Structure 1
Amino acid sequence: MTSEPGSLPGPEWETVCRICGHDDDPEPFWESGWPNEGAICPCCGNEPSMNDVSVVGLREKRGYWLGQGAPWDSPSFRPDDWAILEQVKHIPAEWR
């Protein structure tokens, strides 16, 4: 759920990374409408509210990450059967 103007800065609850679509971390990226500063995506390295508060900013970060070959920020977390095309399908529509 995305916030209305004048309300909290982010969605009430969001577990999917807006940059890469990763959604296998127990910590939400946004909770109670605020960025969870302790959550860093192990896939693309995104920190909530750093590059993902505007569509333009996150598309730039996503393009850079993909242009580098979509490397994992924490390679030990990469599943053996990881498929980038399947993962990016999880990016919320409003952040594509």
Structure 2
Amino acid sequence: MPSGQELPAPPGPEWETVCRVCGYDDGVEPFWEAGWPNEGAICPCCGNEPSMSDVSVMGLRNLRGYWVGQGACWDSPSLRPKDWDILEQVKHIPAEWR
């Protein structure tokens, strides 16, 4: 790429607080900012750390399938709500990442 040109942003909204793997959303911590992964964010539910590998629906489905196949355990169990419902949570995954 010629000097002075910026890389195009990957697909995604400007500010994304929903984990693309499990649907966890605290509404505060962004997993994606300006179309780029917030590499400091780690999902307390599934343990996913956003990266450029998360721009593939198939890659996300593989991560999601592995997480569910291992029992859908929380990475930070102390943050798991008492009334947590995995089926309700995964509904928060944006349609383009399901």
TM-score in terms of structure 2 length: 0.85
Q: Structure 1 residue runs of 4+, over 2 Å off?
A: none
Does 1:73 find its partner at 2:79?
no
Note the C-alpha offset of 1:13. Answer: 1.4
Q: Which runs of 5+ in 2 are unaligned?
A: 1-6
Q: Distance in 2 between matches of 1:25 and 1:50?
A: 21
Q: How many residues align?
A: 91
Q: Determine if contact 2:37/2:52 at 8 Å carries over to the other structure.
A: no
Task: Return closer, same or farther for 1:70/1:50 CA change in 2, 3 Å cut-off.
Answer: farther
Note the C-alpha offset of 1:9. Answer: 1.9
**1:56 is matched with which residue: 55, 58, 66?**
58
Alignment of 1:7-22 (within 5 A): 7-11=8-12, 12-22=14-24
Structure exhibiting the larger radius of gyration computed from Cα positions:
2
RMSD: 1.5
- What is the aligned-residue identity percentage? 79
Task: Return closer, same or farther for 1:46/1:66 CA change in 2, 3 Å cut-off.
Answer: same
TM-score in terms of structure 1 length: 0.87
